[in-house]
Amino acid sequence: MSGNQDFNLKYDREDIAFCLKSMPEQVSRIWLNDGDNIPATFQKIENIVVAGMGGSSLAGHFIQSVGADFLKKPLFLQRDYKLPAWVDKKTLLIAVSFSGNTEETLEMVKDGLAKKAKVLIIAGGGKLERIAKKHKLPAFIFETQDLAKKPRFGLGFMIGALMLVLKQLKVLTVTKKAVKEMVEAMNEVIDTCILDVEERDNPAKAVAREMLGKTVLLIGAEHLVGCSHIVSNQINETGKQFACYLSVPELNHHFLESLSFPKNEASRLVALIFNSDLYNKRNQKRINLTAEFLEKQGVQVIEYKTYGKTVWEEGAEILQFGAFAAYYLALLNKVDPADIPIVDWFKRKMS
């Protein structure tokens, strides 16, 4: 059975569909801000740590993967309560939190200040904004309004802000033209994946149906590894379904052997593989061989071939497509795409 009748909007009580359509606008709004309130001393760094949790950490992984060939300093991701021992006054610590109140991120900021790191805040307000004012830290405080109601739906704000501050610090080479092309790529996905487009013409709906009831493996390489992580997170939180991500070529050195046991496990898996002509030729061969092997083992394989001309376009394309696919999966699972009751329960228990 197919058609829009299966994608019942009664489960979308917070109009997350509107947030998804707004992701390109989120990026554009951030880049309208061309001001620079970052001290010149912040350019005297040797490394960058992006601190964040959950949906707020995804912007860092996006930049780390998509921007790998454009970063002039090493960029590390930290998702914990404390920072590595090597963090010091030559480290740029960028704390990212949609709410501005994330427990672990606040602790990492405290640790960063103690280690004399150069701390910069990207947040939607909250305690991080107050800390920035108290310690006179440079901060990029964005106002989401109705464009984003959860961290994973505000990735346009956080990715756009992180790209902008790194550009202002002259550690990321990215142009306004590249950002414009990202926004255009996202809008092209919206044209084909928006709710009004029937399933037969809507790749995000079609992929959501293929994922329904299965364990989902997201597989990507090079500039799309961070995007594979993002889509995995969205399927977990938005679709309420198990998903994990694997990267090529790393998975070829261990994962393939894992399908031997338990018996019949492969039939419960679906692999969504992100393929790109921009990959290294050897990785393109690895992706194709991996898909061939998985199919022989009984794993359902869905190949998504990107069409962008640059890594920035392709990253933005997968970012937008994955958000739609996870959203439609939530509707097929008959759950609210916004609610995360178990994560909220866990946070209450930790308070």
CA angle centred on 248, ends 84 and 220, rounded to 5°: 90
* Furthest-apart CA atoms within the chain: distance in Å: 60
Q: Which residues are CB-neighbours of 255 under 8 A, at least 6 positions away? A: 246
The range of the structural domain enclosing residue 208 comes to 182-332
E strands, the chain, in order: 47-51, 75-78, 91-97, 118-123, 139-141, 215-221, 243-248, 269-275, 300-305
Whether 1 has a pLDDT exceeding 50, the answer reads: no
Q: What residues pair up with 76 in beta bridges, in sequence order? A: 49
Distance CA 201, CA 104 (A): 42
* CATH value at residue 115: 3.40.50.10490
Whose CA is closest to 45, among 113, 91, 85? 91
Residue 181 in tokens: 């092309």
Whether 71 has a pLDDT exceeding 90, the answer reads: yes
* Tally of domains within the chain: 2
Tell me, yes or no, whether 282 lies in a domain. yes
One domain, residues 323 and 197: yes
> Whole-number mean pLDDT of the chain?
95
Mean local confidence (pLDDT), 126-149? 90
Domain boundary among 174, 197, 217: 174
pLDDT in tens, 195-230: 999 999 999 999 999 999 999 999 999 999 999 999
Banded pLDDT at 143 (limits 50, 70, 90): confident
Tell me, yes or no, whether 48 lies in a domain. yes
One domain, residues 284 and 306: yes
One domain, residues 170 and 186: no
Distance CA 227, CA 243 (A): 13
Q: How many CB atoms lie within 10 A of CB 89?
A: 12
One domain, residues 220 and 115: no
Length of the chain: 351
Tell me, yes or no, whether 26 lies in a domain. no
Banded pLDDT at 243 (limits 50, 70, 90): very high
pLDDT in tens, 165-184: 999 999 999 999 999 999 99
- The pTM of the full predicted model, rounded to 2 decimals, is 0.95
| 330 and 11 Cβ atoms separated by less than 8 Å | yes
Tell me, yes or no, whether 22 lies in a domain. no
Distance CA 37, CA 29 (A): 17
